[in-house]
Structure 1
């Protein structure tokens, strides 16, 4: 756990170097490397904190950004941002395991420390190598699909990479809203959904076992809960007259809920083309927050608490309540995702899900409290603040307008670095690492 947590943090530090070095080169000697003269967007990365923030956001697949206008960035940085999310989507530790590690318990420990547990093959190394082959195939398909519906090839390459990895970085100033194309919006829905489905399920489906679309608990509920969320959100923004037509409400409601629930973080609701997310009704924003908190399937590129944990909590609560209707001698089992668990196993699964869920909401509350303290009083509503913290911790990247090089104070940037870090590794590895550091420093003695 400690190796995974510290490894991820160190990767984010090293990943910030291209932002930092290119921005300072543009500041001091742009002609030396033949890059454009300095812009205010690129100048933001002369601040090391902004560079680290961008790198951490990329490698954790979050997508919150310190740029004001991504379009003016050099193409090298545009692609580097996309590449950090593409690599981070499946996982830096998983990539390292696939390339360097030998089969054995060490590989398993690294794999599970990165918030993964399901295997495709008995060998973890073989599993992660297969995951990367599937990821490469789906990336190619995603790029072709976006190009086919009218997105320019450079945009298709970058958005195909960041869409499948459910990261959300864009090469345009207003994310996907820049294209203002319903065809592109709807084409991105299956790309984001692919990233939110567990890779072992993808493997089985590619092997011809199509039953997993409905027999796998998480995959079934990916479609159910995203369908329900789309209907609810579209209904809210249509009923509150945020959009004039039912089609517009469905177009933006479906895209933004799927973008939130898959933790992709692409945005079509902006002021330049329609109505910005930050100006949606509070109930609509909180519906999007719900999607960001739950997230996608475990074993996918999505963030959040994960569907299987949410379902385990619901089933576990029902299992415990129903105890009163059975005699003490009854032998009871609970079926979760094809596994029949005895009472001890149910208790263990329920406790793990409850601990992660509880800690998730604790850090969400702490982040909200800190942000309310440091932001100018009255400038942002409570739902905007909750939205932004949930987006950072859920590794989503949607923004209510708070995150930016100037709009977010330094303490907020540092806090979001922590939120993104714990969100990607699902809290426990980071807490174990911090406990070890503090313990060695004598703070617990």
Structure 2
């Protein structure tokens, strides 16, 4: 579940001891899960039509590259393969052994986070590898239609796309705030920026690679509460819809913000004024705007409700005072946001069975989206009622 949802939380105490076959399987599940199992199914099996578009939208995708959905998802796969190959090459040139470069290239562009070495990327203690991984993770957090435009030499698409602009702003502002938050835990601003910057990009893009690992002072255990809460907020929001990242998605943050601004400004316009709310190439009128904004708010609210329920379950099943509340919230947000950064709660011994099952639900809902998950459960109960 952690692999196919592109999360990266693991029950393996030491990934380096796994056989290469298992390491490859873990990387492959994340690579397929990153672009989406449903997208793979649509590309290989489904005919063009309304049904294929419904499948495509079920993974929080709405933008099409071509008029045909099947052509769109096949183009997405070609872009994905191109970026994967490029990632493997640059990681190998940066100094990673070829086997490590192949696996980490696959799990970086898929924003998955599984590693083939214990201690994740921090185990290499190589700033060049960390620097090379940053643009790969960021590429995974940008919507594929934007990549398509860039590959077609249309660089205006990077700025014209609402999610990409917000994504860039969040990366810049969030890294500064997180750096200031972790500054007391490190020796100087340069070291704080190195670790906070990598962790923030990894959290925003839902990759899950870590450099803030043991031994101290690099470990997340040494981070102040405010720094952990900044990370929680970003893991909850996630990156762009239509990318390989998880979370609520930036578009669902942008829509309520623009919607509230739209409603407030309506006070200053006469009732006869014709106004439109624009999201990229979509122009919504006064009736459509509240409906679309309402959908985003409802999905975000349900996402947060399930997150809160999972936090309560974890508090109940973990030993008293085993972990502070901010670490519990961090771990649940990491699971449901399909991120994979861990404070040490997730493990074969430290996590009770009921919590493992709940975490699996967090992983599934985070990737499959809350509404399709609820509809699936409802369908199962209706199926049972029919045949009873």
Q: Any conservation in 1 of the 2:30–2:112 contact (CA below 8 Å)?
A: yes
CA RMSD of aligned residues (A): 1.4
> Does residue 1:340 correspond to 2:253, yes or no?
no
Which of 114, 138, 143 is 2:59 aligned to? Answer: 114
2:191 corresponds to which residue? 248
> Does residue 1:435 correspond to 2:374, yes or no?
no
Quote the offset at 1:149 in angstroms.
1.1
Find the aligned partners of 1:178 and 1:120 in 2 and give their Cα distance: 39
Quote the offset at 1:330 in angstroms.
2.3
Q: Any conservation in 1 of the 2:185–2:222 contact (CA below 8 Å)?
A: no
Quote the offset at 1:65 in angstroms.
0.6
1:307 corresponds to which residue? 250
Find the aligned partners of 2:61 and 2:282 in 1 and give their Cα distance: 17
> Does residue 1:141 correspond to 2:86, yes or no?
yes
Matches within 5 A, 1:416-427: 416-427=359-370
Structure 2's unaligned 5+ residue stretches are none
Find the aligned partners of 1:274 and 1:72 in 2 and give their Cα distance: 26
Return closer, same or farther for 1:71/1:393 CA change in 2, 3 Å cut-off: same
Q: Any conservation in 2 of the 1:214–1:220 contact (CA below 8 Å)?
A: yes
1:91 corresponds to which residue? 36
Quote the offset at 1:273 in angstroms.
6.5
Q: Any conservation in 2 of the 1:82–1:169 contact (CA below 8 Å)?
A: yes
Matches within 5 A, 1:291-306: 291-306=234-249
Which of 128, 140, 148 is 1:195 aligned to? Answer: 140
Find the aligned partners of 1:87 and 1:278 in 2 and give their Cα distance: 32
Which of 352, 369, 374 is 2:295 aligned to? Answer: 352
Find the aligned partners of 1:362 and 1:320 in 2 and give their Cα distance: 26
Quote the offset at 1:144 in angstroms.
0.8
1:362 corresponds to which residue? 305
Which of 345, 349, 363 is 1:402 aligned to? Answer: 345
Q: 1:70-122 CA distances to partner (integer Å, 9 max, x unpaired)?
A: 00000000010000000000011111211122222221122112322111001
Tell me: higher relative CO, structure 1 or 2? Use CA pairs within 8 A at least 6 residues apart.
2
Deviates most, 348-357 or 326-335 = 326-335
Q: Secondary structure at the match of 1:302?
A: coil
Q: Any conservation in 1 of the 2:16–2:118 contact (CA below 8 Å)?
A: yes
User: Deviating runs (4+, > 6 A) in structure 1?
Assistant: none
> Does residue 1:79 correspond to 2:8, yes or no?
no
Which of 142, 150, 163 is 2:108 aligned to? Answer: 163
> Does residue 1:221 correspond to 2:166, yes or no?
yes
1:374 corresponds to which residue? 317
Q: 1:308-349 CA distances to partner (integer Å, 9 max, x unpaired)?
A: 110111111122223332332222211222322111121121
Find the aligned partners of 1:274 and 1:180 in 2 and give their Cα distance: 14
Q: Any conservation in 1 of the 2:239–2:249 contact (CA below 8 Å)?
A: yes
1:173 corresponds to which residue? 118
Find the aligned partners of 2:222 and 2:346 in 1 and give their Cα distance: 15
Output the TM-score relative to the length of structure 2: 0.97
Q: Secondary structure at the match of 2:278?
A: strand
Find the aligned partners of 1:388 and 1:289 in 2 and give their Cα distance: 9
Quote the offset at 1:442 in angstroms.
3.6
1:272 corresponds to which residue? 215
Quote the offset at 1:171 in angstroms.
0.6
Find the aligned partners of 2:59 and 2:167 in 1 and give their Cα distance: 21
Q: Any conservation in 2 of the 1:304–1:394 contact (CA below 8 Å)?
A: yes
1:151 corresponds to which residue? 96
Q: Any conservation in 1 of the 2:216–2:222 contact (CA below 8 Å)?
A: no
Find the aligned partners of 2:18 and 2:231 in 1 and give their Cα distance: 30
Q: Any conservation in 2 of the 1:177–1:273 contact (CA below 8 Å)?
A: no
1:21 corresponds to which residue? none
1:104 corresponds to which residue? 49
Output the TM-score relative to the length of structure 1: 0.85
Which of 197, 200, 204 is 1:261 aligned to? Answer: 204
Structure 1's unaligned 5+ residue stretches are 1-55
